[in-house]
């Protein structure tokens, strides 16, 4: 199947403001793009592309004073299959983990493993098997935390979510990531597009989505504590330790968000040439 995706984001800057943008589809999905995922700037400006330490595609810009509109629209191919489920497996012992995976066991800005370690071992220490533990963590977070856009705030951490029991998708992911790391299961935060494909449509405005991946049996698997069910049509944009590493825009100066719109739609079969 084919998915139409894109965004329009508007910033108002009182003065020229340096920004780092993480808005492109992840390199691992580049071969699935059927049309270019090219960032457009209005007014036009120069953007310097680079790849960060996690392999994400990033751009550096100097936003001019005034209003800046950032947008893209593209079509991507997707298998239409739900998220692959991790088989029943033991977690990899820490001493056998690849060195590049170890960073995803450590506490980070939004995932305070030190504050959650005792709770994690009390809740999940009896669960046998790595995949079984991750599913138990997802069940716990999904059942404990109430979703609502009104509960969002940029400073909310996994500990805050654990105590307040409220949040948005990134908060569900942060708490699950922190609990997995407490149990010595490498976990990394992911962000990208996730439309209402294969599920009843939501009345809520479309937004970028947050989920996470865990390292089990020598590879990474996708998990989603917010929805707690395999989903169809994820398009990965970026991975990192937590939301700090994958922020869509990191600004080095004062600016105001003047508009935000995300589109993620499955194209009709007749549009993508599919046959039933």
User: How many C-beta atoms lie closer than 10 Å to residue 233's C-beta?
Assistant: 25
Rg (CA), the chain: 19
Q: Is there a contact between 16 and 62 (Cβ–Cβ < 8 Å)?
A: yes
Set out the domains of the chain in order of their start, with CATH numbers. 2-80+248-268 (2.60.40.2250), 94-240 (3.10.620.30)
Answer whether residue 30 shows pLDDT above 70.
yes
Tens digit of each residue's pLDDT (9 = 90 or more) over 161-174: 999 999 999 999 99
Assess whether the previous peptide bond of 43 is cis (omega < 30° from 0): yes
Mean pLDDT for the stretch of residues 107-118: 98
Give the span between the Cα atoms of 224 and 152, in whole angstroms. Answer: 18
Tens-place pLDDT, residues 40-87: 999 999 999 999 999 999 999 999 999 999 999 999 999 999 999 999
CB 11 within 8 A of CB 258: yes
């Amino acid at each position: 199947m084919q998915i139409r995706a894109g965004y329009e984001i508007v910033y108002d800057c009182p003065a020229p403001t340096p920004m780092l943008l993480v808005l492109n589809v992840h390199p691992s999905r580049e071969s699935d793009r059927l049309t270019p995922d090219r960032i457009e700037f209005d007014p036009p400006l120069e953007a310097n592309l680079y790849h960060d330490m996690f392999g994400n595609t990033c751009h550096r810009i100097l936003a001019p004073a005034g209003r800046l509109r950032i947008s893209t629209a593209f079509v991507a191919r997707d298998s239409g299959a739900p998220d692959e489920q991790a088989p029943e497996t033991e977690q990899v012992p820490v001493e056998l983990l690849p060195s590049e995976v170890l960073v995803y066991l450590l506490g980070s800005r939004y995932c305070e493993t030190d504050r959650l370690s005792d709770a994690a071992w009390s809740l999940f220490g009896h669960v046998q098997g790595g995949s079984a533990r991750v599913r138990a963590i997802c069940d716990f977070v999904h059942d404990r935390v109430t979703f609502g856009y009104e509960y969002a705030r940029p400073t909310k951490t996994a500990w805050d979510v654990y105590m307040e029991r409220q949040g948005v998708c990134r908060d569900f992911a942060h708490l699950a990531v922190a609990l997995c790391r407490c149990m010595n299961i490498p976990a990394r935060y992911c962000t990208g597009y996730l439309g209402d494909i294969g599920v009843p449509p939501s009345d809520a405005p479309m937004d970028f989505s947050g989920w996470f991946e865990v390292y089990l049996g020598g590879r990474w698997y996708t998990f989603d504590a917010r929805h707690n069910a395999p989903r169809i049509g994820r398009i990965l944009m970026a991975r990192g330790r937590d939301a700090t590493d994958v922020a869509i825009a990191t600004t080095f100066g004062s600016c105001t968000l003047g508009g935000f719109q995300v589109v993620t739609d499955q194209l009709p079969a007749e549009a993508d040439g599919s046959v039933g």
